[in-house]
Amino acid sequence: MTKNVTQTTADALMLHDQDGVATALRPLSAGTLVRVSTPAGTRDVRVEEEIRRCHKFALADIPAGSAIRKHGEIIGEATRDITAGTHVHIHNLSGRAGKR
């Protein structure tokens, strides 16, 4: 499932080209430009708040109600507008399990 991307020296990992989020490979500080490894090469993204290791941040603005992808698959829906570079977690992302 995990794409064989080059992770060397990257601060965060975007697993699939459709993904709206990246995962921090180390603790990231607010207001810094971080290097994100993507399937298409590395790119720099500014994180707007502190992101703990293994936590996710938005790669671009995500409007409320839109699907959020990781591994190229839908992991849930944005419950509010999410700004690029901010933390994506249970406060703004909700799954569908148990909600039929």
Partner 1 sequence: MSERSFQGFERPDGSVGTRNHLLILSITGLTGPAARRIGRSIPGARVFAMPFGSGLIGEDFEVHRRSLIGLGRNPNVGAVLLIGGHPPQVAEFAAAISETGKPVVALTLDECGHDTLTLTDRGIRAAAGLARDLSRQRRRTAPLSALFVAGECGRSDPSSGLVSNPLVGGVVDAVVDGGGRAVIGETMEWFGTVHLLQARAVNESVASDLADAVRRREDAAIAAGIDLLGDNPGPTNIEAGLSTLEEKALGTIAKGGSRPIQGVIGVAQSPPGPGLWFMDAPAYAPESVTGMVAAGAQLVLFTTGAGNSFVNSIAPTIKISANPDTLARLDSQIDFDGGDVFLGRRDLSDVVPELMDLAMEVASGTLTYGEVLDEGEEVVSRMGPAL
Contact footprint for partner 1 (CB under 8 A): 1-2, 4, 6-10, 13, 15, 23, 25-26, 37, 52-56, 70-71, 73-76, 88-90, 93-98, 100
**Burial group, residue 100, by CB count within 10 angstroms (0-12, 13-18, 19+):** exposed
Distance between CA atoms of residues 94 and 92, nearest Å: 7
Which residue, 41 or 98, is less far from partner 1 as judged by CB?
98
Q: Considering the complex, what minimum distance in angstroms separates the CB of residue 46 from partner 1? A: 20
User: Please, which residues have CB within 8 angstroms of residue 4's CB and are 6 or more apart in sequence?
Assistant: none
**Minimum separation from the CB atom of position 6 to partner 1 (A):** 8
- State the Cα–Cα distance between residues 52 and 41, nearest whole angstrom: 23
47 vs 75 by CB, closer to partner 1: 75
Q: Least separation, in Å, of the C-beta of 12 and partner 1? A: 10
